[in-house]
Structure 1
Amino acid sequence: NTPHGSPLRLRFQPGSLEMAVRWAVLGLLAACVASATKESVLNMCMDAKHHKTKPGPEGALHGQCAPWKDNACCTAETSKGAHQDQSYLYNFNWNHCGVMPDKCKQHFIQDTCLYECSPNLGPWIDQVDNSWRRERILNVPLCKEDCDLWWEPFKYVFPRPADLCEKIWSNSYKYTTEHRGGGRCIQMWFDPANGNPNVAVAKYYAQNGRDASPAPRAVLLLLPAALLSLL
């Protein structure tokens, strides 16, 4: 609407100077929408079972979830549940196939903490229609070291590291040859003393594209109506 309360509608004759202005306005609008879309997937929490609505400080995060305490999508209670063998989070027992070795369990806890606590997975959030969540992550590019180390306890079950990381949670993760510290892959765990490296990774993929684009978020839904109002 204009300051007078009436919708803004531009009507021009083809070939006129006004037509050029019209397309310039459309271009600016598209650029603004694209910019807003990129920003909208940064520093966010997915709409899922145990996630907070918005990320924020959580000073009492437990164990391996502690690196996210300055800005987390999980609560302290959720972080404790991530470390329990019989956890209330998903009614699943890490020892359902026998006692899981501590080294192996460490990787699954790191995976749970990343999933529940990270505010940097926005570029890979996808819409789903489940009874317990409305969004999930898809094809998050894991750093080679993280995937390889996780695979080591499972080398007799999964032929390659990619088979583990991509299939164990139905393509939530994607195996990459990118290395930790390179700014092109998500680290499952990090030393908080050096800051959160996944912030820069999420920003890179938001600005430069990603292999798996999530379903358009609310800002994109406004584009058709906005463009029609200019015709």
Structure 2
Amino acid sequence: MASSSSRYLLLALCLAALQLASLASAQGELRTDGLCVNGTKHKTRPSPEGSDYAECHNYKQSSCCTANFTKVLAQATVTHIENFHWGRCGNLSKACEDFMIHVECFYRCSPNAVHWEGEFSSSITGVPICSGFCDDWFAACRREMSCATNWIFDYNTTASGENYCSTDSTCMTWEQRYGNATSMCNTLWGTSFKYTSDTANCIQLNGTNLLMRNTEVVNRLFSSGSTPLPLPVAVLLAVLALALLA
């Protein structure tokens, strides 16, 4: 049986280990491999693009998408990306479409997206999008019509990636589907994005100097003065401390 002072010391060790384990699990590490999101929708590595880069200009100097892709987004009306249609219940308004383009630019072109690379090919998960952007996005699109809530899983999608309303779905406004900006931002593209009110540590998707601003956010989120203990080590310390306290 440990003495009273030893018990307090071991308890402090236990709590510190658990905190480090949580940090290591949630924060991840700063990516320094210079890669883009893995998959067919992105280049292998970010690189500068030329004068034919027609949209997503914030990422032109270090882009994970090709100039040909940006030409799709630069059309007068964007109805679909590759075979995926945005407006199965009618084309989006220009105001709403502009926000969808900002989102697509980040996902396909930003070299920072790789820090939230998902489990599946070409996927991202949990990107902390600034609440102000989500609020404006919802305000611009709330009267649009959609037959799907989660655009990744709710559509019937063919092998070629073409999406159709499911037979039991109904076209309704985004406001009816989501209710508010938080729900929309956290749901429309599955778990890709997360509504975030912390303005110092969120990713902004519109405006100027986005690459520089968002890179600073990435450095804050994924870099630290000291390297956290690997998750298994931190958990082992916690278990040992608990065992000694018994």
Asked whether the two chains share a fold, i.e. TM above 0.5, the reply is: yes
Q: Report if aligned partners of 1:83, 1:109 keep a CA contact under 8 Å in 2.
A: no
Query: Are 2:130 and 1:139 equivalent residues in the alignment?
Result: no
> Could you tell me which residue of structure 2 aligns to residue 98 of structure 1?
90
Match of 1:79 among 70, 74, 94: 70
**Hey, what's the Cα distance between the residues in 1 that align with 2:34 and 2:130?**
20
Q: List runs of 5+ in structure 1 lacking aligned partners.
A: 1-33, 129-133, 209-231
Q: Secondary structure at the residue paired with 2:103? A: helix
Q: Secondary structure at the residue paired with 1:175? A: strand
Instruction: Count the aligned residue pairs.
Output: 163
> Could you tell me which residue of structure 1 aligns to residue 203 of structure 2?
186
Query: Are 2:206 and 1:201 equivalent residues in the alignment?
Result: no
The one-letter code matched in structure 2 to 1:165 is C
**Hey, what's the Cα distance between the residues in 1 that align with 2:32 and 2:135?**
28
Once the two structures are superposed, residues 117-157 of structure 1 have per-residue CA deviations (whole angstroms, 9 ceiling, x without a partner) of 000123211221xxxxx241101000111111111122623
Query: Structure 1 vs Structure 2: percent identity of aligned residues?
Result: 30
Query: What RMSD, in angstroms, separates the aligned Cα atoms of the two structures?
Result: 2.4
TM, length-normalised to structure 2? 0.60
Matches within 5 A, 1:43-82: 43-59=34-50, 60-63=52-55, 65-82=56-73
**Hey, what's the Cα distance between the residues in 1 that align with 2:211 and 2:43?**
21
Q: Report if aligned partners of 2:110, 2:211 keep a CA contact under 8 Å in 1.
A: no
The one-letter code matched in structure 2 to 1:196 is M
* Cα distance change of structure 1 residues 185 and 42 upon mapping to structure 2, 3 Å threshold: farther
**Hey, what's the Cα distance between the residues in 1 that align with 2:46 and 2:60?**
10
**Hey, what's the Cα distance between the residues in 2 that align with 1:114 and 1:149?**
16
TM, length-normalised to structure 1? 0.63
**Hey, what's the Cα distance between the residues in 1 that align with 2:188 and 2:74?**
19
